[in-house]
Amino acid sequence: MRLPFFYGWVVVAVTFVTMAIGVNARTAFSLFFPPIISEFGWERGVTAGAFSFGFVVSGVVSPLIGRLMDRAGPRAVMELGVLLMGGGLLLAPLTSAPWHLYVTIGVMVGAGSVCLGYSGQSLFLPNWFIRKRGFAIGIAFAGVGIGSVTLLPWVQHMIEQTGWRTACTAMGLLILVVLAPVNLLLHKRPQDIGLEPDGDAAPAAGGAQPVSNIVDPDWVNTEWTLKRAVGTARFWWIAVGYFSGLYIWYAVQVHQTKFLLDIGFSSSVAVWALGVVSLLGIPGQIVLGHISDRIGREWVWAISCAGFVICFAALIALKYQPSLWLVYVMVFAQGALGYGLTSIMGAVVFEIFQGKHQGSIFGTIMLAALAGGAAGPWVTGLLYDRAGDYTLAFGIAMVVSGLSALAIWQASPGKVRAVAGRLPKLQSGTGGTTP
């Protein structure tokens, strides 16, 4: 039975729900962080290291998940993620030593998050759209913001009323009960169920062919295996850009709650800030994703990195002037601008290395990205423990933000495939290229 609308939007809806729960289940570690430190008295670097270790694990399994996606499709990947993340959160309350956190929050939740989070969704969602790729991914990933403003206050309430262990258990059960069934609706690509990307009709034999978005035919016509991709400068520039992007993302996400508490803000303000960042990420990801379909992925990546620069500058200023207006600046820059990174992360790789092996290539690149996600919280916590404050750590993060923007410009996905907004210029300038 054919639906009255394009099935790709069902895929977007499932991804929206999965991201709302799966990503925020991992983000909730920022809320668990203070009570765990308070209960056990462990150093911040050691405790935050469990979260960072999760990224190490994520990085190790990411290429394997990419290969699993190429061979078995999204349903297998997502259900594996449900079992790992749900199981890790259900076991984490048994923690009595740091290594327990490293196994549950680190190994299990970390590996599960590759499947359920940005990495796993980016392995197949871009297949469903071409003209509206950035816009569709932006809507799907905006689920993170909805989850933040609904789930995170609920988690904080449970922490305050019944303790972090109860909150952790509740998140684990939610993942198992909700995400296990909805992800059975997924398909890897529209062609698998007789459809075309964007819901377009299949081109009729002898009919007019649509304008191609190919800028570099030689590059596009190359069969990009993982081995070939690794031998290109573009592969390594993307890896540097993604490493730096996730470094800055998680450096602030893991530490901002504790930082705000340290400089005198109440727990309600600190939790509000974390939730509103993701709330602002809803319009930010959608709008910036749409803009990327008009002006190009490179520009939007640079805009998002500039958002993180502003965010870290505001955090440094907050130490000297702890005012709410600086919190507002930090929250807006991080959420409305910085979170735009995720709306184009999958698009950048797919537009450069699209083909049969795109899952393996993307999964391997995410090894670098997740290493950045691991390094960000760990290095930031380590620098705090050594320096006694976050100023140096946040200053370094500003430099890393600039490096990330530069790297994606060097990768230049727009020089391989043009976004929809550039097609008229491509057509008028070159006459279009037929694949």
Over residues 389-406, the pLDDT tens digits come to 899 999 999 999 999 999
Domains of the chain: 8-187+213-421 (1.20.1250.20)
Checking if the pLDDT of 432 tops 60, the result is: no
Q: What integer pLDDT is reported at residue 431 of this predicted model?
A: 42
Q: Which token pair is 295? A: 């002006």
Residues 6+ apart with CB under 8 A from 219: 352, 416
Q: What integer pLDDT is reported at residue 342 of this predicted model?
A: 87
- For 202-246, how does the pLDDT look when each residue is reduced to its tens digit (9 = 90+)? 665 555 556 678 899 999 999 999 999 999 999 999 999 999 999
For the residues 177-188, what does the mean pLDDT come to? 95
- For 106-132, how does the pLDDT look when each residue is reduced to its tens digit (9 = 90+)? 889 888 988 998 889 988 999 999 889
Residues 6+ apart with CB under 8 A from 348: 238, 241, 297, 301, 408, 411, 413
Confidence band of 175 (pLDDT split at 50, 70, 90): very high
Confidence band of 382 (pLDDT split at 50, 70, 90): very high
Q: What integer pLDDT is reported at residue 142 of this predicted model?
A: 87
Q: Tell me which of 49-53, 233-237, 315-319, 332-336 is least confident.
A: 49-53
Q: What integer pLDDT is reported at residue 428 of this predicted model?
A: 67
Residues 6+ apart with CB under 8 A from 329: 310, 314
End-to-end distance of the chain based on CA atoms, in angstroms? 32
Checking if the pLDDT of 433 tops 50, the result is: no
Q: What is the DSSP letter of 197?
A: G
Q: What is the mean pLDDT of the chain?
A: 89
pTM of the model: 0.81
CB neighbour class for 218 (10 Å; exposed up to 12, middle 13-18, buried from 19): exposed
Confidence band of 299 (pLDDT split at 50, 70, 90): very high
Smallest CA-to-CA distance from 253 within 31, 22, 30 is with 30
Q: What integer pLDDT is reported at residue 144 of this predicted model?
A: 83
Neighbours of 421 (CB within 10 A): 16
What is the residue type of 51?
A: F
Q: What integer pLDDT is reported at residue 207 of this predicted model?
A: 53
Q: What integer pLDDT is reported at residue 427 of this predicted model?
A: 66
Checking if the pLDDT of 7 tops 60, the result is: yes
Checking if the pLDDT of 324 tops 80, the result is: yes
For the residues 264-278, what does the mean pLDDT come to? 85
Q: What integer pLDDT is reported at residue 118 of this predicted model?
A: 84
- For 130-155, how does the pLDDT look when each residue is reduced to its tens digit (9 = 90+)? 889 999 999 998 888 888 778 888 99
Checking if the pLDDT of 91 tops 90, the result is: yes
Smallest CA-to-CA distance from 418 within 179, 214, 186 is with 214
Checking if the pLDDT of 272 tops 90, the result is: no
Q: What integer pLDDT is reported at residue 31 of this predicted model?
A: 85
